[in-house]
Amino acid sequence: MMTHTQKRKLINNIVMALSTLSALIGIGFLFWILGVLIYNGVDALNMNIFTLEGAPPGYAQSGLKHALIGQLYLVGIATVIGVPLGILAGTYLSEYGQKSRLAETIRDISDIMMSAPSIVIGAFVYAIVVAPMGHFSGWAGSIALTIIMLPVILRTTDDMLQLVPSTLREAAFALGAPKYKVILQVVYRGAKAGILTGILLGIARVGGETAPLLFTSFNDNFLNTDMMEPMASLTVTMYNYATSPYDDWQKLGWAAAFILSMFILGLNIIGRIIIMKRKGR
């Protein structure tokens, strides 16, 4: 007859074994995906990818220059718009709205937006921007990415600013500093690592989006820097090439997947390093 302690130990060991097995299975799939991606992606990489534009199937001289530059435009403009808006909105919630009903409502909406399917955002921007304009455009794509990025930066900024001790604010107020200077020179400095991490995570979040761009910027097989026209993106180009029946386009699709994955992985690693350094202080 097992004692109560022995039963607890047995259950604990079973749960630990199942948890470890589940973790190993998850990690195994992750390394499997990365392995296949690296194997096919590195094999497809060459200088033509970065120097040449897309070409019809069967042409050896073909690359992803148009998609890379288009992706930089779309994500870059979304970052320029979304980062200041997200930081300012997060600052309002933490420093001005605090626990008010309006601030709590904004937080709830932001949480809902973070979990909303990106294709819904794309359909929304299509309805309010693309349809009235009568054509797809790079601006519509950047607006969609901004909407996706905004709640990530907003919530991160709000959370990071709330972690700054209130005693620092009180000390600055006691010295006669106005509220805006307290926020700029005290609160922001105390939370800069966390805010930067939120920005990187926001960029990584939108960097791999495909569905909203299909509804907004669409795609272009040639290099285009006019934001009023349809614009190529690495994600949509990767989708088109990977699903094509042509071997050379599929190879370019693997190269695009590898470049995009390494970019997003790099941003996430940088964010984790910043968080670890902040915790180590």
Residue-wise pLDDT tens digits, 7-35 = 888 889 999 999 999 999 999 999 999 99
**277 pLDDT exceeds 80?**
no
Confidence category of residue 278, pLDDT binned at 50, 70, 90: low
The answer to whether position 236 is within a domain reads yes
Q: How far apart are CA 68 and CA 150, in angstroms?
A: 23
Degrees to nearest 5, angle at CA 64 with 205 and 57: 125
Q: Residue 233 has which token pair?
A: 């993106």
Task: Answer whether residue 217 shows pLDDT above 80.
Answer: yes
The single-letter DSSP state of residue 210 is: -
**CATH number of the domain where residue 231 is located:** 1.10.3720.10
Q: How many CB atoms lie within 10 A of CB 247?
A: 10
Instruction: Collect all residues with Cβ–Cβ distance below 8 Å to 254 and sequence separation of at least 6.
Output: 37, 40, 41, 43, 44, 242
Kindly state the helix (H) or strand (E) to which residue 215 belongs, with its residue range. helix 211-215
Has residue 267 been placed in a domain?
A: yes
Those residues whose C-beta lies under 8 Å from the C-beta of residue 191, and which sit 6 or more positions away, are 157, 160, 161, 163, 164
Give the whole-angstrom CA distance, residue 68 versus residue 262: 13
266 assigned to some structural domain? yes
Q: Give how many domains the chain has, as a whole number.
A: 1
- pLDDT of 151 > 60? The answer is yes
Please list, in sequence order, all residues whose beta carbon lies within 8 angstroms of the beta carbon of residue 33, skipping any fewer than 6 positions away. Answer: none
Cα angle at 156 between 257 and 196, to 5 degrees?
65
Express each pLDDT in 225-257 by its tens digit. 999 999 999 999 999 998 999 988 999 999 999
Q: Residue 168 belongs to what domain range?
A: 64-280
pLDDT of residue 62: 87
Tens of pLDDT, residues 28-87? 999 999 999 999 999 888 898 999 988 888 887 889 999 999 999 999 999 999 999 999
Mean pLDDT of 160-186: 91
In whole angstroms, give the CA distance from residue 141 to residue 81: 13
Per-residue pLDDT at 281 exceeds 60: no
Is 280's pLDDT higher than 70? no
pLDDT for residue 144 is more than 90: yes
Is 131 a domain residue? yes
User: What is the band of 3 on the pLDDT scale with cuts at 50, 70, 90?
Assistant: confident
195 or 60, which is more confident = 195
Domain presence at residue 27: no
| Mean pLDDT score, 163-191 | 91
Average pLDDT over residues 159-184: 91
In a domain, 129, yes or no: yes
Tell me if 112 is assigned to some domain: yes
190 lies in some domain: yes
User: What are 81-136's pLDDT values in tens digits?
Assistant: 999 999 999 999 999 988 899 999 999 999 999 988 999 999 999 999 999 999 99
Separation between Cα atoms, residue 185 and residue 101, nearest integer Å: 28
Q: Provide mean pLDDT across the span 132-145.
A: 95
Provide the pLDDT for residue 234.
93
